[in-house]
Amino acid sequence: MLVANRGEIAVRVIRACRTAGLQAVAVYSDADREARHVALADATAHIGPAPARESYLSIPRLLAAARETGCGAVHPGYGFLSENADFARAVEKAGMIWIGPPPEAMEAMGSKISAREKMRAAGVPVVPGALIEPSEEHREITSSGEEVGARGAARRVGSPHPATSGTFEEIPSSVLSLGFPVVVKASAGGGGKGMRIVRDAASFSEAMISCRREAVAAFGDGTVYVEKYLSSPRHIEVQVFGDTHGNVVALGERECSLQRRHQKVIEECPSSAVTPELRARLQSAACDAARAVGYVNAGTVEFLLEPSGRFYFLEMNTRLQVEHPVTEEAFGVDLVALQLRVAAGEPLPELPSAPSAHAIEARVYAEDPDAGFLPQAGRLLAWVEPSGPGVRVDSGVTAGGEVDVHYDPLLAKIVAKGRDREEARKRLAGALGETIALGVTTNLSWLKRLLEAAPVVRGELHTGLVETLSLPALPPPPDEVFEAAAWVLSRAASEPGGRPARGALSSPFEGRFRMGGA
């Protein structure tokens, strides 16, 4: 099987191949010759230079690699080409098995506008919103000469919220009827890109223009629409699975409300806000959503949940999700193994109907929380992963490896499970404190402080919470950090080129150092 990805997800899929008795082929760019996923695979294929467009995003190069290594299947991981229907079709046309949903289901959910329409038709509640067609643009956008046409009447999508006061002649009435704040979204958007929150009428026009611009630049499609911006909802998503025998099941929910700039940082399963009754309703809506598009394999239906218990469809991700391990740990299932079985035509086995543990995941990024979370790159001089009861680490890096500017700065996911939320939370905070990363600044300490913030401890979460918290200042590093750094520097001084060799630095740290996120 070709693993058409890199980093921790490639490592995760390679492990699943081993369990399934399949041989895994890793692909790598110039920047990844010494990467961990390459070292772990049974065979490897070089696919091009470092820029993803010329390697991990190149369909011809990935297909050539699969052919040359005699692969019979392709797993796309997540990110890169995982939601690209053209790639799925090309894999199937080449006579190989695509480990993912049918391309038609990917397309149906690929445009947020068409996904909303399909969900409404299937009786799944969607966030109230308004379509802004090119003929219905705001006057200022038209006069700015940007790719838009004449104005007309706007069409309403979803159930309207009452309008706020004021008259805003130039803004379509369907937008006004939602009431501010609203969010302008790119239909092709994803990964937090192509989204603008608009708090009042005066900023609507500017938000439309900049959202459109960003959408064209990032996705080559400037279609945007408007949604009611819900105040302080929770992000609750449901893991669904379909097989080729017509079965669709849901495996509980994940709470992903701890976000920074609409990007998830800590996820958990189950959600402390979801009762068995609400879980049943969420799962039923998610299965309806999946059935409406003929879904097969693993997918995630995302909802926003209001304190009242009302929830609305947000989008469906037609792939494995970064945060899938919390479902695996809470339900005791291997989702990637299930993906392989379903892709081989097997029916879904009997699956647990409720979680038997609580699991929380933290995303460890190479980024500097004290410098606006700026992504960091460079050589990881030391990397020591935590362990202990209930601790799982899905990582894509090794000591001495390079963190490259060309790729997502996700280094690892640290997951802890416990009998209940508090046990899982304490285990995760402990594991984050034990993790050692030297050479590249990470968000380890920030994650640990976030997990220990009072509302997080109480489980009182919402998607805007992180921005409102002022986390305690970093405590001064313990002496061990200085000792470790001195040791790294002395090793470096004795190496040719002044840099320690790959892998040379990990073992002496094992068990020697405990620090609050170096």
> How many residues belong to the chain?
518
> Can you tell me the distance from the alpha carbon of 208 to that of 231, in angstroms, rounded to the nearest whole number?
20
Q: Please report whether residue 191 would count as binding ligand ADP according to CB under 6 A.
A: yes
As measured in angstroms, the least distance from the Cβ of 256 to ligand ADP is: 7
Smaller CB separation from ligand ADP, 55 or 318: 318
| Least distance to ligand ADP, CB of residue 328, Å | 21
Is the Cβ of residue 156 or residue 262 nearer to ligand ADP in the bound state? 262
Each residue 394-433 as x (binds ligand ADP by CB under 6 A) or -, in order, gives: ----------------------------------------
8 Å CB contact between 211 and 185:
yes
Among 230, 258, 440, 488, binds ligand ADP (CB under 6 A): 230
Q: Given the structure tokens 């046409």, which residue do they identify?
A: 149
Residue 268 engages ligand ADP in binding (rule: CB under 6 A)? no
Q: Is 307 among the residues that bind ligand ADP (CB under 6 A)?
A: no
CB of 270 to ligand ADP, least distance (A): 18
DSSP for residue 231: S
Name the phi and psi angles at 391, rounded to 5. Answer: -100, 130
Between residues 229 and 241, which has the closer beta carbon with respect to ligand ADP?
229
Region near ligand ADP per CB under 6 A, out of 137-145, 221-229, 335-343, 363-371:
221-229
CA neighbor of 335 nearest in space, from 58, 100, 138: 100
Residue 458's SS3 state is helix
Q: Which of 148, 208, 314, 410 contacts ligand ADP by CB under 6 A?
A: 314
Assess 282 for contact with ligand ADP (CB under 6 A).
Answer: no
Among positions 28, 98, 180, 229, the unique one binding ligand ADP when judged by CB under 6 A: 229
CB closer to ligand ADP out of 188 and 333: 188
Nearer to ligand ADP, 243 or 315 (CB): 315
Shortest Å, Cβ 228 to ligand ADP: 6
- Interface stretch with ligand ADP, choices 86-94, 188-196, 370-378, 465-473 (CB under 6 A): 188-196
- Point out which span in 189-197, 349-357, 405-413, 431-439 binds ligand ADP (CB under 6 A): 189-197
Structure tokens at 214: 């960003």
User: How many chain residues are in contact with ligand ADP, going by CB under 6 A?
Assistant: 20
Rounded to the nearest whole angstrom, what is the least distance from the CB of residue 262 to ligand ADP in the complex?
4
Burial of 369-406, coded b for 16+ CB within 10 Å and e otherwise, reads: beeebeebeebbbbbbbbeeebbbbbbbbbbbbbbbeb
The window from 22-30, 100-108, 222-230, 439-447 that contacts ligand ADP (CB under 6 A) reads: 222-230
> According to the binding rule CB under 6 A, does residue 302 interact with ligand ADP?
yes
Q: Which is nearer to ligand ADP, 189 or 386 (CB)?
A: 189
Q: How far apart are CA 68 and CA 99, in angstroms?
A: 19
What is the nearest approach in angstroms of ligand ADP to the Cβ of residue 200?
A: 16
Pair 362, 414: CB distance under 8 Å: yes
CB-wise, 191 or 511, nearer to ligand ADP?
191
Residues 16, 115, 127, 285: which binds ligand ADP (CB under 6 A)?
Answer: 127
Contacts of 182 (CB under 8 A, 6+ apart): 175, 197, 198, 204, 226, 227, 228, 229
What is the number of other CB atoms lying within 10 angstroms of the CB of residue 494?
8
Q: Which is nearer to ligand ADP, 174 or 463 (CB)?
A: 463
- Whichever of 107 and 402 has its CB closer to ligand ADP, that residue is 107
DSSP assignments along 162-214, one per residue: PPPSS--TTS-HHHHTT-SSEEEEEEEEETTEEEEEE-SGGGHHHHHHHHHHH
Q: Between 408 and 434, whose beta carbon lies closer to ligand ADP?
A: 408
Q: Does 329 bind ligand ADP (CB under 6 A)?
A: no
Is the omega angle on the peptide bond into residue 181 within 30 degrees of 0, that is, cis? yes
Is 179 a binding residue for ligand ADP by CB under 6 A? The answer is: no
189 binds ligand ADP (CB under 6 A): yes
Smaller CB separation from ligand ADP, 77 or 189: 189
CA distance linking residue 262 with residue 189, whole number of Å: 13
Q: Is 70 in the site for ligand ADP (CB under 6 A)?
A: no
CA angle 63, 68, 74 (to 5 degrees): 45
For residue 183, the minimal CB distance to ligand ADP (Å) is 5
Nearest Cα residue to 134 out of 147, 124, 115? 147
Bridge partners (DSSP) of residue 184 are 196, 226
315 lines the binding site for ligand ADP (CB under 6 A) = yes
Residue 364 amino acid letter: V
The least distance separating ligand ADP from the CB of residue 78, rounded to whole angstroms, comes to 12
DSSP string, 466-499: HHH--PPPPPPPPHHHHHHHHHHHHHHHHSGGGS
**For strand 234-242 and strand 248-260, is the pairing parallel, antiparallel, or unpaired?**
antiparallel
- Please report whether residue 267 would count as binding ligand ADP according to CB under 6 A: no
| Helix H or strand E encompassing 342 | helix 335-343
Candidates 464, 473, 397, 436; CA nearest to 199 is 464
Cβ atoms 140, 202 nearer than 8 A: no
Binders of ligand ADP in range 457-486 (CB under 6 A): 463
Contacting residues toward ligand ADP, per CB under 6 A: 127, 183, 189-192, 195, 227-230, 233, 235, 259, 262, 302, 304, 314-315, 463
